């Protein structure tokens, strides 16, 4: 019946359950994906005779609110994991629901920001600044959407039903999706000052 090995117990040679090692390897590749784009930003900026100040072009208050929203979503994500360790399902539903709500608020604010720019006819071809702005924030937003879909699955009964049969495995799943979610938050922590404040 059990097809995937080491979903709960640690593999002796790694000391980790497989999914946890897997997500960290994936996050390592994500560091290089975003890192490549960040280095592209440095190259574009240093190669340009002039570079705009982000606060002249973007809405800093909206960006600040979005930063706080993502930080909040990270806290509620980690609290959802604690709730499972406490075997407190209502609290898990509440905290994971808050994480989902935060992801929705983040995307709405991002849509408002994009929409305002589009309505002014400002697209990636506008300048090197906007090209890298749309690329970095667009890729980040895709990560939010992807993460939110997975979180939604775990929040709905179809995902949560594993709790009844394999509680530890379900807790591990939430830990793993949490690690991804915190990483997406971490990327934004760098994107915000780099694009909005410098």
Partner 1 sequence: MAETTDFKKEQALYYKVFGTLAVLTVITVAISSLKIGIALAIFLALFVATTKASLVASFFMHLSHEKKLIYLVMSLTAFMFLFMMIFIVYTVHDVPDGTKNLNFEYYVEKAGAHGGTHGSHTETPEAPEASGGHH
Q: Which residues bind partner 1 (CB under 8 A)?
A: 14-16, 20-21, 24-25, 28, 31-32, 35-36, 38-39, 42-43, 45-53, 55-57, 60, 64, 67-68, 71-72, 74-75, 77-79, 82, 85-86, 117, 120, 122, 126-130, 178-179, 182-183, 185-186, 189-190, 192-194, 196-198
Q: How far is the CB of 11 from partner 1 (least distance, A)?
A: 10
Q: Report in angstroms how near the CB of residue 160 gets to partner 1 at its nearest.
A: 20
Q: Which two structure tokens, joined as six digits, stand for 87?
A: 């075997």
In angstroms, give the least distance from the CB of 45 to partner 1.
Answer: 5
105 contact partners, CB below 8 Å, separation of at least 6: 69
State which residue, 47 or 157, has the beta carbon closest to partner 1: 47
Question: Do 80 and 99 meet the contact criterion of CB atoms below 8 Å apart?
Answer: yes
Count of alpha carbons within 13 Å of 177, Cβ hemisphere only? 26
Cβ closer to partner 1: 1 or 194?
A: 194
Question: Smallest gap, in angstroms, from Cβ of residue 28 to partner 1?
Answer: 4
Rounded Cα–Cα distance for residues 102 and 108 (Å): 10
Q: Taking the chain, what is the end-to-end CA distance rounded to the nearest angstrom?
A: 55
Q: What are the percentages of helix, strand and coil residues in the chain, rounded to 5?
A: 80, 0, 20
Q: Which of 39/156 has CB closer to partner 1?
A: 39
* Class of residue 187 by CB neighbours under 10 A (exposed 0-12, middle 13-18, buried 19+): buried
Give the nearer residue to partner 1 in terms of CB position, either 29 or 165. Answer: 29
The nearer residue to partner 1, 75 or 150, going by C-beta atoms, is: 75
């Amino acid at each position: 019946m059990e097809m995937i090995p080491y979903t709960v117990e640690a593999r002796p040679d790694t000391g980790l359950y497989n999914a946890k090692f897997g997500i960290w390897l994936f996050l390592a590749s994500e560091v290089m994906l975003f890192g490549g784009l960040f280095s592209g930003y440095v190259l574009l900026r240093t190669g340009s005779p002039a570079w705009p100040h982000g606060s002249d072009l973007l809405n800093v208050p909206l960006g600040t609110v979005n930063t706080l929203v993502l930080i909040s979503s990270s806290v509620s994500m980690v609290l959802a994991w604690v709730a499972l360790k406490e075997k407190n399902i209502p609290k898990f539903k509440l905290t994971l629901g808050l994480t989902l709500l935060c992801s929705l608020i983040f995307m709405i604010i991002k849509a408002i920001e994009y929409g305002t720019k589009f309505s002014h006819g400002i697209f990636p071809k506008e300048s090197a600044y906007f090209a890298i702005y749309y690329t970095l924030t667009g890729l980040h937003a895709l990560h939010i959407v992807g993460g939110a879909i997975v979180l939604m699955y775990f929040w709905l009964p179809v995902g949560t039903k594993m709790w009844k049969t394999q509680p530890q495995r379900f807790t591990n799943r939430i830990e793993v999706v949490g690690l991804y979610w915190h990483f997406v938050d971490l990327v934004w922590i760098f994107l915000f000052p780099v694009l909005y404040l410098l």
